[in-house]
Structure 1
Amino acid sequence: MRPTTKEIIARIGETDQLFLDGNTPELALERADLRLQLVTISQVHQEQVHFLQEAIVLLEQGRVEFEEIPLELYINLSLHLAKAYMIYFELTKENRYALITQQILKPMTNYEHADIYFFLAYASASKKEPAMTRHWLNKYSKSSNFDLELVDQHPAFEEYRQQEWFIQTLRRQMH
């Protein structure tokens, strides 16, 4: 069950109080995630942009503020940051947000994390880069966490659904 707006706002207040006692990467991630939840609930463009901006600042800060941070947590902060920028892209249709997503995640491809490949494919598709979309979807399709339904239904890949390489990529995963 999804938390209500009231519950999310109450938790934001609690986590903001915890922040006053000291920040941690985990707290930065939670504080940003709460704001991203508000973005998806809100129907008001200005509110969405406001909460996105707050989430982005918290995630950027969480990625650079700490000297020691577990790799999985750093990847999680980076993926949330990519998600925030892609939501920004969806709201504005400005390619620069997809480009920022690529700039955040490309240096992290050596970790061979499925979600990194997915977001790079999503950003490439959003920027109308078919070769890079194919490249990243191919890498994503070979990962153990490949989500066939997500790729098949995601609107970013709509214009590729009839292309042979896309069909073959999905077909390989069905078997």
Structure 2
Amino acid sequence: MTTTTRNLISRIGETDQQFLQGNTPELALERGRLRLDLVNLSQYQQEQTHFLQEAIVLLEQGRAEFEEMPMSLYLDLSIELAKAYMVYFNVSGEQRFAIITQQVLKPLAHLNSADIYLYLAHASLVQDEIAMTRHWLKKYFSHDAAKLDAVMNITAFDTLKQNDWFKTLIHTHLH
């Protein structure tokens, strides 16, 4: 076991103990992120699925359990939840996780978040909704926080590299 893995597991234990004393949206966010970090370290699909399920429960609970929280925190919980669902899609290949991502994020799209646009584009693409993919990518690349690396790190977007509209978006973003 690597030092990184040991530290991660130790932090999970600490946050789980904090949870026993009382949950907060911030704690739910950290606990969900820690489980997502475990997914990235694991090489076994069964483990990844287990950690993803835990992350999703923690993030959903964090969004629903508290009547009042800052919108920025709700947005962070929602984006992490969408990320978890898209990772779950990548692990399982089940399109329902892309649909759930859209259900989580579409109501928040008016908040002008680059992350929301990127995850909506990814979810649209894996459902073969090319027009919506293009729509969300345009919104993403028009955002100040857009990063080309974020798009290029999503292998699903490799299928778009030959499309003229995609090349134009990339070119416009670079200049």
TM, length-normalised to structure 2 = 0.96
1:49 corresponds to: 49
Matches within 5 A, 1:158-169: 158-169=158-169
The Cα shift of 1:164 comes to 0.8
For residues 101-140 of structure 1, what are the alpha-carbon distances to aligned partners after superposition, in whole Å with 9 as ceiling and x for unaligned? 0010000011011100000001111111110100000000
CA distance 1:153–1:62, shift in 2 (3 Å): closer
Aligned sequence identity (%): 57
Q: Tell me, in whole angstroms, the C-alpha distance in 2 between the residues paired with 1:20 and 1:153.
A: 37
In the alignment, is residue 120 of structure 1 matched against residue 120 of structure 2?
Answer: yes
Equivalent in the alignment of 1:58: 58
Alignment of structure 1 residues 51-130 onto 2, 5 Å: 51-130=51-130
The residue identity in structure 2 corresponding to 1:96 is: R
**Residues 60-82 of structure 1, C-alpha deviations (whole Å, 9 max, x = no match):** 00001001111111010001100
- Corresponding position of 1:17: 17
Q: Which residue of 1 aligns with 2:171?
A: 171
Q: 1:93 to 1:104 in 2, by over 3 A?
A: same
Greater than 6 Å deviation, 4+ residue runs: none
Partner-residue secondary structure (3-state), 1:117 = helix
Cross-structure match for 1:40: 40
What amino acid maps onto 2:173 in structure 1?
Q
Matched residue pairs, number?
174
TM-score, normalising length from structure 1?
A: 0.96
Deviation (angstroms), 1:32: 0.8
| CA shift for structure 1 position 149 | 2.4
Return the letter of the residue paired with 2:105. L
SS in 2 for 1:140: helix
Q: Aligned in 2, Cα 1:32/1:129: closer, same or farther, shift over 3 Å?
A: same
- C-alpha RMSD of the superposition: 1.2
